[in-house]
Amino acid sequence: MSDQTPAPVFQIQRVYLKEASLEQPNSPAILLEQEQPNVEIQLGVEAAPVADGIFEVGVTATVHTKIKDKTVFLAEVKQAGIFEIRNLPQEQIAQVMGIACPQIIYPYLRGNVADMIQRAGFPPVHLTEINFQAMYEQQQAQKEQQASGTPVQ
């Protein structure tokens, strides 16, 4: 009786800082402003196969800080990881890449964003905790709506 299904595999191969940039286009004049800046934060998750059973998952944070219509600083950081994911149904692989992998990468991203902004001479921006499961489910619902032709709100 050799009815053995291969065991599921999920391993972290590497977590790394893929790219980071910080711009202060209006320095030094903007640094003399006394007004509180407005901070906008955007997050994104992407995943791509690298080899058979090996995937790169990246989480990107964009922090845009402005006073009125002038940029104080614009920071973009992409933290990535390489993961081995094997012997799972395709739907589960998508969930692992959309939920579990970003949860592993995100603390590194948070630390790098805060550190880079602080090293640039600003108070650190601490990204809030993210519920990647809710984010994934929302993205899936949007894809389903687009596929069915229902307008996305």
Query: What pTM, to 2 d.p., does this model score?
Result: 0.86
Q: Which token pair is 110?
A: 């948070």
Find all residues with CB under 8 Å of 120, minimum gap 6, and list them: 22, 24, 73, 75
Distance CA 33, CA 119 (A): 20
- 144 domain residue, yes or no: no
Number of separate domains in the chain: 1
pLDDT at residue 142 in the model: 87
pLDDT in tens, 79-108: 999 999 999 998 899 999 999 999 999 999
Question: What does the mean pLDDT of the chain come to?
Answer: 92
- 34 domain residue, yes or no: yes
What residues form DSSP beta bridges with 70?
67
Query: What is the b/e burial string over 35-49, where b = at least 16 CB atoms within 10 angstroms of the residue's CB?
Result: eebeeeeebebebee
- 75 domain residue, yes or no: yes
- Percent of the chain clearing pLDDT 90 (strictly above): 80
Q: At 104, which CATH number? A: 3.10.420.10
Domain holding 28, by residue range, is: 9-126
Taking 60 as the threshold, does the pLDDT of residue 39 lie above it? yes
- 108 domain residue, yes or no: yes
- 98 domain residue, yes or no: yes
pLDDT at residue 1 in the model: 46
Going by C-alpha positions, the residue among 63, 72, 71 that lies closest to residue 113 is 63
- 134 domain residue, yes or no: no
Going by C-alpha positions, the residue among 18, 127, 23 that lies closest to residue 75 is 23
